[in-house]
Amino acid sequence: MPETDPLPTPLLLFIPYRYAENASLEHLAAQGFADLTLAQARVFARIADSGSRLTELAESAQVTKQTAGYMVDQLEAGGYVERVPDPTDARARLVRVAGRGEQARAAAMEALSHLEAQWRAHLGPRRMAVLRESLAALREITDPYL
């Protein structure tokens, strides 16, 4: 059914992203991580494997340092992250994924795998490959963290 007023491409990108976030949170809740909020998950997802400084998390999540600090406090209380000394700077601390966070990460990856399979089944392998290639190409001009 063709639309008479097509949606802008950025909105077409946002709608499936929002769906993916909600589906992931639902899956996490079903796996025992119901205390994780969307705001916390957005900060949590940006933690590097080697740990991240709070200022880096705030910048990449596009929130204030205070907001990121509050989210990290909540994540730490839930056992998702821990703060550890930064080995490159004795004055700084890193936020690192903790035990419960590793379990949540595994559950989130499982949710994303289910989503990818659902989208591939809907689009077909060729269109899914074109979508991924196109999004990867757009990332070259839109991702400041590349």
Angle (CA) 41-46-51 rounded to 5° is 115
In a domain, 104, yes or no: yes
**What local confidence, expressed as pLDDT, does residue 4 receive?**
65
In a domain, 4, yes or no: no
**What local confidence, expressed as pLDDT, does residue 142 receive?**
93
Roughly how many angstroms between the first and final C-alpha of the chain, as a whole number? Answer: 38
CATH number of the domain to which 46 belongs: 1.10.10.10
Arithmetic mean of pLDDT over the chain:
94
For residue 53, count other CB atoms closer than 10 A to its CB.
Answer: 18
**Residue 41 is part of which domain span?**
17-141
Stated pTM of the model: 0.87
In a domain, 49, yes or no: yes
Residue by residue, DSSP assigns 3-38 as -SSPPPHHHHHHHHHHHHHHHHHHHHHHTT-TT--H
**What local confidence, expressed as pLDDT, does residue 146 receive?**
80
Question: Of 114, 105, 106, 111, which Cα lies nearest the Cα of 44?
Answer: 105
Number of domains in the chain: 1
